Each structure stands twice: as C-alpha cells, then as structure tokens.
Structure 1
Amino acid sequence: MEDPKKFLFVLSAAGAAGFVSIIFVLRWVLHFKEGLAWDGGLAEFNWHPVLTVTGFIFLQGIAIIVYRLPWTWQCSKLMMKFIHAGLNLAAFIFAAIAIVAAFDFHNAAKIPNMYSLHSWLGLTVVILYGLQLVLGIGMYLIPITPVSWRRAFMPIHVYSGLLLFGSVIAVALMGITEKLIFGLSNPKYKDSPPEAIFVNVLGVLLVLFGALILWIATRTSWKRPSEQTLHTLHSNGESEANTKVGPALSELADGTDTESGGDVRRRNNKSDNQAD
C-alpha cells in the first residue's frame, strides 16, 4: 500500500466522524426529542433517524471500504465477499425498519405518507439498494455465475454503490432539515435555537464521513491486491530465497511483461479477483 500513514489518518478521521455522528443522533432524540419507543408516537419515529445514521450510512460506509483495510488482506477473497454482503444486508435491514417506523408514526398521527421529496427519494434509494444487494449476491456469491458477467457488471456495481451511498447522505440531510422546520415552533428553526445548531452540526459530520469514505474508496493506490499477488507475496515472505525473488516481485508490481508476470495475468484473467 502506498502512503499507509495517510491511509490510517483518513480512515481514523472517517471512523471518528461516523462514530460522533451516531452519538449526535442519539443525543438529538434522547435529549431534544421524546426518546425511543415503539408505540406509534414521536418516540417511534425517532428510530427513523437513528437507524438511518447508524445502519444505512455508517454500516454502508464500512461495507464500501472493508476491502481496503490492509489487516483484512490475509482473509480470502470469498470471506471478504461474505463480510461485504453481510454489512450491506445489515444496512438494508436497518433502513427497512427505519421506513416502517416513519410509516407507523404517520399512520397513527393521520399524516399523509410519501408527500415530500425526502420520502420520494428515500424510498427510491432503499429499493435500489435492495436491488443492488440482490444483484451483487447473485453475481459474486453464486459460483455458477459466468466470469464474463462478473467482469461486465463490476463497473456498474461499483458506480451504483458509490452513487447510492452519496444519495443516502443527501436524503438524510433533507430529512433532518425537514424535521427541524416542521418540529421547531417556539423558537423556530430560522431563529437558530440550540437544537437547530446541534442538528446542523450532525449534518456536517455526515457530509464529512461520506467525503472521507468516498476518498478512501476511490484511491487506486489503496486498492486490495489481487489474490495471486497476495499469495505470491506471502509465499515469498516465508521463503529463504527472498533476495532471489525480490527483483521478480518488483517487475510484477511494475507490470512488466516477464514470463512469471504473464502467467500471473493469464491466471487472473480466469477469475474475477482482479475485477473486484
């Protein structure tokens, strides 16, 4: 990995922003609102922002960068696929429960459902996220899926994942702003009461978390090496002839057309490791 110290700094900053965001949303509903419950009232609605931030944003962000954590590179690619899918599945479950909480509250309070732009985009993102999850599992966790399909779908899978992550944060910002406008009456949102300032800071933290996650996910120098490269490095690290194979490894890393490098590339073309 290039610039490991920089990677750790950005990763730590992202983790801190995400963790503090969770603390802020919990503080918001427990201190400024009615707390948490499942009774059809405002306390049930409060699960909506809590589950959205903790699950649909934080867990999804971790799922996006889990491949790039160097201490996971010793795990097999198949294991990492299961971890990636599991985190995304958990995020989807959190999002689904968050939607149920919002609909239950609206129905109990006789408030119309699906009237705001926040609700339109929010439900659309959840549906597309579920579709992304199903297609991802079908493409990369079912052994019979052709390798050519996996390669062709990978750019779409990566792009749509990043797009949905950014969209979730945008929809969340719309939602908390909408909640402040409708929920604050004396003083009003425009008068900048403590709750408004507190929740505005929460929005800034969510944007910061999203920006850092996207930065990590788009740096090619921080990408997980292919399985063949990891196996080669591991084997050579345990070998007594490290000094003899060092130049060959350098040539592989530089992409030169050595005989061993060509063999590695040909083997990689028979799998989807390089695409992932």
Structure 2
Amino acid sequence: MEYYKPFLVILSCAVVVGIISIIFVLRWVLYYQGGLAWNGGLAEFNWHPVLNISGFIVLQGLAIIVYRLPWSWRCSKLTMKLIHASLNLVAFIFAVVATVAVFDFHNAAKIPNMYSLHSWVGLAAVIQYCLQLVLGVGLYLVPFMPVSWKMAFMPIHVYSGLILFSSVIAVALMGITEKLIFSLNNPKYKDLPPEAVFVNILGLLLVVYGALILWIATRQSWKRPNDQTLHSLNSDGGGEDGTKVGPALSQLSDAAEGEDFGEVRKRSNKYDDQVN
C-alpha cells in the first residue's frame, strides 16, 4: 500500500474517535437523560441515539472502509464481501430498533410522529439503507448475477453508500440539537449548560469521524488491489500463504514508476469488477 503510515494514523484516529463517540452518547443518556429501558418512557427513547450512533454511524463507517484494511487483503474477495454485508446488516438492525424505540415512545407519550425534518430525512435514510443492503446482497453475493449488472451498479452502490453515511451523520446532528432544545428548560439550550456543551462536543466528534471515514474511503491509492494482483504479489513476496502481503504490495508502486499509478489502478480494478 502507498502511504501505509498515514493510512494507519488516520485509521487509528477514526477508530478512537468512533469509540469516544459511543462513550459520549452512553454518558449522555445514562448521566443526563435517565438511563436505558424498554418501558415506553424516556429511557426507551434513549435507545434511539445510542443505537443510531453506535450502529448506524460508527459500525456503518467501519463497513465502508473494511476493504481498505491491507491486512484483510489476505482474505478472499468473497470473504470480504460477507464481512462488509454482515457489518451493514448489523448496522441496519440497530437503526430499525432505534426507529421502533422512538415511535414507541412517541405513541406512549401522545407525541406526534414524523413532523420534523430530522424524522423525514432519518426515515428516508433507513429505507434507502434497506434498499442498498438488499440490492448489494442480490448483485454481489448471488453468484449467477451477470457481470455487466455488477459493473453498471457499482458506481451507484459506492456513491449511495457515501451519501447515506453522510446523511445519517447530518440526521444525528439535527436529532441531538432537537433533543437539547426540547429537553433543556432551566437553564435553556441557548444558555449553554454543561449538558449542552457535552452534547455539542459529541456532535463535533461525529463530524470528525465522518470526515476521517470519507477520507479513507475516497483515496484511490488505498483501494484494495484485485485478487489476481494480490496473488501475483504474494508469490513474488516469497510466500504462497499470504503472510507477506504487506511488503509485497510495495512492489505495485515500484512497478508503476514511469507510468501513471492511477492507470495501473484503473486496469486492475476493471479486471476485478469483471471477475467478481
């Protein structure tokens, strides 16, 4: 991999920020908002931010970049597809349970549903995420699907995934702001009490996490090479078991000297789309 050390630094920062975000949302609901329960009350509503941040944001972000992890390149493409799909499925389950929790709380408290921009965009994101998951599994895990269909849908699949991830973070920011406005009365949100400061920092953490994930996901030089290239590099690296994938990958950059590395990647990725 090109620029392996910067990749490792950014990946480590993303993981740390993601974990801190989960800790922050748990601290928020357990210390400021009355804890967690499933009883139709406020404690049930608190599952909504916890599950959406931990699953729909943090876990979805990891699913997006799982192909970029160089130590996972020892695994077959099919294995990585299954891991990618599994992480997204768990994130989707978290999002569904979080949505059920907020509807259940609203119905029990006689609060209208689906009146805010947060709820409109949020529900649209859940529905689109479901479609993305179904189409992704149907096209890329069903073996008899035509290669032409896979190639045609891949740009849409990637673009939709990144748009969804960004949208979910935006929805979370709208949601936590809306929650603070409604729940803080004395002092009010505009007076910036400790809870408001704490949750605003949580919002900043989500933005930073999203920026780091999108940076990793959009670097062409960090993209997984195709399986044929990996097999060739493993053999050149002196081991058939894939134990020397990392050092061997540096040969890909050496081979591209005097030639545009992007063109090497384009040919490699085009071949990969045709055989997977």
TM-score (norm 1): 0.90
TM-score (norm 2): 0.90
1:130 aligns with 2:130: yes
Structure 2 partner of 1:235 = 235
Structure 2 partner of 1:157 = 157
- 1:134-165, Cα deviation, whole Å (9 max, x unpaired): 00001100001100110111000000000000
Say if 2:55 and 2:92, in contact at 8 Å, map to a contact too. yes
- 1:251 Cα deviation (Å)? 8.0
Say if 1:139 and 1:145, in contact at 8 Å, map to a contact too. yes
Gaps of 5+ in 1: 240-247
Taking structure 1 as reference, are residues 74 and 168 closer, same or farther at Cα in structure 2, changes over 3 Å only? same
Q: Counterparts of 1:194 and 1:54 in 2: how far apart (Å)?
A: 23
Taking structure 1 as reference, are residues 90 and 181 closer, same or farther at Cα in structure 2, changes over 3 Å only? same
Count of paired positions: 261
Larger Cα-atom Rg = 1
- 1:13-56, Cα deviation, whole Å (9 max, x unpaired): 11111000000000000000110000000000000000000000
Structure 2 partner of 1:8 = 8
What is the aligned-residue RMSD (CA, Å)?
A: 2.3
- 1:217 Cα deviation (Å)? 0.2
- 1:252 Cα deviation (Å)? 5.6
Say if 2:85 and 2:137, in contact at 8 Å, map to a contact too. yes
Taking structure 1 as reference, are residues 266 and 181 closer, same or farther at Cα in structure 2, changes over 3 Å only? closer
Q: Counterparts of 1:267 and 1:204 in 2: how far apart (Å)?
A: 38
Say if 1:66 and 1:84, in contact at 8 Å, map to a contact too. yes
Q: Counterparts of 1:148 and 1:31 in 2: how far apart (Å)?
A: 53
Q: Counterparts of 2:39 and 2:256 in 1: how far apart (Å)?
A: 59
Q: Counterparts of 1:267 and 1:7 in 2: how far apart (Å)?
A: 24
Counterpart of 2:224 in 1: which secondary structure?
coil
Structure 1 partner of 2:171 = 171
Q: Percent identity?
A: 71
Taking structure 1 as reference, are residues 266 and 193 closer, same or farther at Cα in structure 2, changes over 3 Å only? closer
Structure 1 partner of 2:248 = none
Taking structure 1 as reference, are residues 266 and 178 closer, same or farther at Cα in structure 2, changes over 3 Å only? closer
Taking structure 1 as reference, are residues 250 and 68 closer, same or farther at Cα in structure 2, changes over 3 Å only? closer
Say if 2:51 and 2:95, in contact at 8 Å, map to a contact too. yes
Taking structure 1 as reference, are residues 255 and 86 closer, same or farther at Cα in structure 2, changes over 3 Å only? farther
Say if 1:151 and 1:272, in contact at 8 Å, map to a contact too. no
Query: Runs in 1 of length 4+ with deviation above 6 angstroms?
Result: 248-251, 264-267
Say if 2:36 and 2:46, in contact at 8 Å, map to a contact too. yes
1:113 aligns with 2:116: no
- 1:271 Cα deviation (Å)? 2.7
Q: Counterparts of 1:156 and 1:35 in 2: how far apart (Å)?
A: 40
